[in-house]
Chains A and B, each alone.
Chain A
Amino acid sequence: MSGDQHTARALRVDVAQTEPMPLHGRFECAAGELLALVGPSGAGKTSMLRVLAGLMRPQRGRIEVGTQLWCDSEQGIFLPPQRRHVGLVFQNYALMPHLSALDNVALALLHLPARECSAQARRWLDHVHLSLEQQQRRPGALSGGQQQRVAVARALAREPRLLLLDEPFSAVDQMSRQALYRLLADLRSDLDIPILLVTHDLNEARLLADRLVVMDAGSVLQEGPPEHIHRAPRNARVADLVGIHNRFQGVWVGPSGKAGWGLLKWVSAAGGDNGDMLLEVRDKGKIKPGQPVNWVVPGDGILLGADGIGQALEATVSDARHLGEITLASLTLQHDPQISLRITLAGPQRRRIASGDRLALRLDPALVHVMPLHQRPPGLSPD
């Protein structure tokens, strides 16, 4: 597949509205790519999906899928959902309760002659592994996972140029969830269209998505590959939204003397005077000395043991929970007991940790990410 072909079917979105609810954002999704819209409830994820499906007309915006223009407020273009060829899997599936699974899927195929319509519908339901007997049942007589597969089949039967999934995994049990993850993985390789997934489950988003779009209060805060957003969140709000536990405050001191490196003063949230705890971290030259900052370090940037790269710190285990195959532990710093870190351990080293233990740890300076603290609240665009 050539890159040109991917862009020729890609989704490009730019939406800006203030009424009836604020919605701002700009992102792209290539064909064959799975993009996850993440954020807390009320962040505008579902509204964004409705705009893409044509169920809501944005005040200002432009939506393109490949060469087709679906919406352009400047030219007064707004295609209704009937003319968009969107596959949308609703949060509660929105299956027609009076129609069998087969007839539900056939609804998306009404343009075909009756016989071909039901043959196609059957083919799509076979594709999502619904038995012939289940295909004749009404949604009320199907399990949650089966209903969802009917909803997916109905969305696919539309031969969509864009597939939208609204919290598709929220109402099904763990077993069905695993099966649906597999189904989604298959779909991605079979269909060469942009796929958008709305979810508030970050693990799910990380597991499935090529890229994340982080939304809050109607605005897109950051867009990028999950690992990039985890390494380098744009601001403290993004760090909180994507579940980065180890977020701290500090003051940028300035260059450390070593080229490309700078000094960061670690300050506890309570602001107590704890003497100078300085960390030497990477300096991109973007922050002025004396600037208050937030900084984060991902879990794999916290290393146990006194020897190796990074600055050694003394800590006490304040809490250790052994959950299944992993252990979650909270550590407080010897230097300033008001500062605590959270780590996740797996494998043999987790057995050695217990509440009250003292241990040495290091922060990988290359993984420390520093974000200048702005006075302006996040998510507010300047215009």
Chain B
Amino acid sequence: MDWQAFSLSIELAAVTLLVLLPPGVLGARWLARTRFSGKAWIEAFVVLPLVLPPTVLGYYLLVSLGAGSPFGAWMLDTFDIRMTFNFAGLLIASLVFNIPFIVQPVQRAFEAIPENLAEAAAVCGLSGWQTFWRVELPLAWPGILSAMVLTFVHTLGEFGVVLMMGGSIPGETKTVAIAIYDRVQSFDLAGADRMALLLLALSLGAVAASFFASARLAARR
């Protein structure tokens, strides 16, 4: 069992979730409540990471952020920050890859809230933020919860983008999915077996738990 790879994956998933959640929820709410002509394009871009092969996404990220690219060179010269083949690169790739997993379910959750509840809140004297915290967020909570679980589990199992952007540096960019691949490549099937089973159990448990929680929340309404 490669605990180092495992803890790196957990760390990556947690940081991804932490960074992506606030802008993801606000962006999803904005998409749910705003109507304008170019909205379909924005929604298409949000879904793109879901339909694009991970290697294609990883390739574009590598080309645009690598030290050879203008932006990557500038970041390196100015801030001495390298954005590929390290944890930062892994995080950037993971953030981009997870945008649809946060935005889509949360947007649907906000869209399901009747619009006149926000109007009723305004007539009651609640400001926009008060309405968001006291009315919209609690009502969208089951959707947000399942989006969080999906994002977390999805990051644990990420392979293609991570490999393109991070390579396989032990302790730095070697996640559990890559570790499993390495084990299989070197015919250590027993090692791969244990890690695969752990990942399977963890993913299934998390998703099932989120479904139970959503069902309980829905039953209270």
Residues on A close to B: CB < 8 A? 53-55, 80-82, 84-88, 90, 92, 94-98, 107-108, 110-111, 138, 140, 154, 158
Asked whether A97 lies within 8 Å of B116 as measured between CB atoms, the reply is no
Which 5 residue pairs spanning A and B have beta carbons closest together? A94-B120, A108-B124, A81-B122, A94-B116, A88-B123
- Does B221 lie within 8 Å of A98, measured CB to CB? yes
B50 interface hit (Cβ, 8 Å): no
- Given contacts A96-B135, A98-B138, A98-B221, whether A154 and B124 have CB atoms under 8 Å apart is yes
Q: Are B120 and A90 in contact (CB under 8 A)?
A: yes
B92: chain A residues within 8 A (beta carbon): none
B120-148 vs A, Cβ < 8 Å mask (1 yes, 0 no): 11111111001000110011000000000
- B52-89, CB under 8 A of A: which get 1 and which 0? 00000000000000000000000000000000000000
A138 touches B221 (CB 8 A): yes
Most A C-beta atoms less than 10 A away, residue of B120, B126, B138:
B120
B134 to nearest A CB, angstroms?
7
Once the chains are docked, how many angstroms separate the CA of A87 from the CA of B120?
Answer: 10
Q: Determine if B117 and A94 form an interchain contact, defined as CB atoms under 8 angstroms apart.
A: yes
13 CB-based A-B contacts, threshold 8 Å? A53-B119, A54-B123, A81-B125, A82-B126, A85-B125, A94-B116, A96-B121, A97-B139, A98-B139, A98-B220, A138-B221, A140-B221, A158-B123
Smallest distance from the beta carbon of B131 to chain A beta carbons, Å?
A: 10
Most buried by B among A55, A98, A110, A138: A98
Give Cα A97 to B134, complex, Å.
12
Q: What is the distance, in angstroms, from A376's C-beta to the closest C-beta of chain B?
A: 37
B38 at the interface (CB under 8 A from A): no
A55 and B123 CA atoms in complex are apart in Å by 8
- Give complex CA distance A154, B139 in Å: 19
Contacts of A97 in B (CB 8 A): 139, 221
Bound form: Cα–Cα A110–B127 in Å? 11
> Which size bracket describes the interface of B in this complex?
10 to 19
Point out the residues of chain A lying under 8 angstroms from B121, CB to CB. Answer: 96, 107
Asked whether, in the complex, the Cβ of A110 is within 8 Å of the Cβ of B125, the reply is yes
Name the residue of chain A whose CB is nearest to the CB of B135.
A96
Do the beta carbons of B221 and A158 come within 8 Å of each other? no
Mostly, the B contact residues are: helix
List the A residue with the shortest CB-CB distance to B128.
Answer: A82
B119 partner residues in chain A, CB cutoff 8 A? 53, 55, 81, 90, 94
For the complex, what is the distance from the CA of A54 to the CA of B125, rounded to whole Å?
11
A108's contact among B116, B117, B125, B138, by CB below 8 Å, is which?
Answer: B125
Q: Which residues of A contact B127 (CB under 8 A)?
A: 82
Which residues of B does A touch, CB under 8 Å? 114, 116-117, 119-127, 130, 134-135, 138-139, 220-221
When distances are taken between beta carbons in the complex, the residues of chain B under 8 Å from A110 are 124-126, 130
Q: How distant is the Cα of A94 from the Cα of B221 in the complex, in angstroms?
A: 14
Residues of B within 8 A of A55 (CB): 119, 122-123
| B116→A92 contact, CB < 8 A | yes
| Minimum CB distance partner of B138 in chain A | A98
Which of chain B's residues have a CB closer than 8 A to the CB of A111?
125
User: What chain A residues lie within 8 Å of B221 (beta carbons)?
Assistant: 97-98, 138, 140
Closest beta carbon of chain A to B213's beta carbon, Å: 15
> In the complex, A81→B124 CA distance in Å?
8
**Cα(A54)–Cα(B138), bound, Å:** 25
Residues of the B chain whose Cβ atoms lie less than 8 Å from the Cβ of A86:
123
Closest to B125 in A: A82
Do B122 and A82 have beta carbons less than 8 Å apart? yes
Minimum C-beta distance from A198 to chain B (A): 14
Shortest CB-to-CB span from A156 to chain B, Å, is 12
Contacts of A92 in B (CB 8 A): 116
A110 to B220, CA, bound (A): 24
B122 touches A80 (CB 8 A): yes
B100–chain A nearest beta-carbon distance, Å: 27
Q: Residues of A contacting B120 with CB < 8 Å?
A: 88, 90, 94-96, 154
Contacts of B130 in A (CB 8 A): 110
Chain A hits for B126, CB < 8 A: 82, 107, 110
Q: How far is the CB of B96 from chain A (nearest CB, A)?
A: 33
Q: Given A98-B138, A98-B139, A110-B130, A81 and B123 touching (CB < 8 A)?
A: yes
Q: How far is the CA of A158 from the CA of B122 in the complex (A)?
A: 11
CB distance from A53 to the nearest CB of B (A): 6
Instruction: Known A110-B130, A138-B221; judge A96-B125 contact (CB<8 A).
Output: no
Please measure, in the bound complex, the distance between the C-alpha atom of A88 and the C-alpha atom of B121, giving whole angstroms. Answer: 11
In the docked arrangement, what's the CA distance between A106 and B23, Å? Answer: 30
